[in-house]
Amino acid sequence: MIIAGYEYTGEKPFSNVYLTGIVRDKQGRKMSKSLGNSPDPLDLIANYGADGVRVGMLLCSPAGNDLLFDESYCEQGRNFANKVWNAFRLIKGFEVSETAVASSASASAIQWFENKLSEQIENINDLYSKYRMSDALMATYKLVWDDFCAWYLEMIKPDFVDGKAMPIDKATYDATIGFLESLLKVMHPWMPFITEEIWHLLKDRSDKDCIIVAEWPKAKAINQQMIGEFEVCKEVVATFRNVRQQKQISPKEKLELIEKSEAQHSYFDEVVKKLANLSALTYTKNNVEKAFSFVVKTTEFYIPLANNINAEEEKERITKELEYNQGFLKSVQSKLANEKFVANAKPELVELERKKMADAESKIKTLNEQLTAL
């Protein structure tokens, strides 16, 4: 190829070469016909789809390292393709209303995902520039599966009334279609077949309007504060759901959540209320008695569950959490006491460790107060 490039064009055909590892069997042996340890690619494609095989193999192929082949990798790739297809079917199944107004939760979701998408496009572009292909695919995978499917679609999904889904407002629907188009472009290098198929099913397009020649999505200005606030929101919702599970409370039963904070409002309040199925989200400056409590970052939350609280079980739970945080604080303090680490580490890493120490100290103080109250 190099000789042909110089011979027929007079130019160097390429500057960089990406070296891949070798696909081996589970025992680390090279695949060969004589050993009979090489799977038939056509059988894999028939079982898992061409895109599923590609994604499954590439997710587990760190740059330059050999890959010990396992068919479960292809199954993971197929599951991802199914997830993308089901997300498309969900969105296209929404009943759209021209007159409906976007809810506060949907508006917050759109603002957050715009920033998250831009952040990850920059991250993925950076990974491509460094030839970290499996990392770029993993970032794409998490963006689609976790951020878009698990969180964004749940935030904008219409409520059910009398067993029937309510219509979605057109502004939210249009924004969601736009997000899906951008995600299809990001996925296309890895999943060319399913992304091209969905691209043409999303709307009427000309024969030449194909995703393979579509412009790569561009990142917009990123509000990192909003992204950080939503990470807290996610942790609150996840912890609240765990409490429901621990106390065996039905997800359909509405509960109240009280945040101990000087603030009286958060941008994602309506998102928390929707995803956690709350009857109310209120704020207080004082401790709340006879309530289940948990801490996210440095903020304390209360769930009034007077009839569901066992004092001894609560003491045991809080004691375990306290011991964990005390151990964590000790490890951070030990690291910061190391003069070589403080002198040689990047300033942002040292600052991160100091923030971890402050957060742990705050949690320990809160947990001790909870124990005293019990």
- Dist CA 61 CA 135 (whole Å): 9
Where residue 165 falls (left for φ over 0; alpha for ψ -120 to 50; beta otherwise) is: beta
300: enclosing H helix or E strand? strand 299-303
* pLDDT above 80: residue 307: no
Looking at 60-103, list the stretches that DSSP marks H as alpha helix, in order from N- to C-terminal side.
Answer: 71-92
pLDDT band at 345 (very low <50, low <70, confident <90, very high): confident
User: CA 121, 125, 130: angle at the middle one, nearest 5?
Assistant: 150
From 229, 218, 103, 74, select the one nearest 166 (Cα to Cα).
Answer: 103
Range with top average pLDDT, 88-92, 290-294, 355-359: 88-92
Tens digit of pLDDT for each residue in 175-216? 999 999 999 999 999 999 999 999 999 988 988 899 999 999
Count of residues in the chain: 374
From 22, 18, 217, select the one nearest 120 (Cα to Cα).
Answer: 217
* pLDDT above 70: residue 76: yes
- pLDDT at position 265, please? 77
- pLDDT at position 366, please? 75
* pLDDT above 70: residue 114: yes
* pLDDT above 80: residue 144: yes
- pLDDT at position 311, please? 64
Terminal-to-terminal C-alpha distance of the chain: 75
Q: Which comes out higher in pLDDT, residue 146 or 246?
A: 146
From 87, 109, 92, select the one nearest 274 (Cα to Cα).
Answer: 109
Of 83-87, 163-167, 174-178, give the lowest mean pLDDT range.
163-167
pLDDT band at 354 (very low <50, low <70, confident <90, very high): confident
Mean pLDDT across 325-340: 87
- pLDDT at position 28, please? 85
* pLDDT above 90: residue 47: yes
- Dist CA 250 CA 252 (whole Å): 5
Q: Where are the beta strands (DSSP E) in 69-218?
A: 96-97, 160-161, 164-165, 168-169
The CB density around residue 325, as the number of other CB atoms within 10 Å, is 20
From 95, 107, 270, 108, select the one nearest 166 (Cα to Cα).
Answer: 95
pLDDT band at 370 (very low <50, low <70, confident <90, very high): low
Sheet holding 278-284, edge to edge: 278-284, 255-260, 299-303, 292-296
- Domains assigned to the chain: 41-213 (1.10.730.10), 249-373 (no CATH)
- pLDDT at position 64, please? 64
pLDDT band at 290 (very low <50, low <70, confident <90, very high): confident
- In three-state secondary structure terms, 284 is strand
- Dist CA 238 CA 236 (whole Å): 6
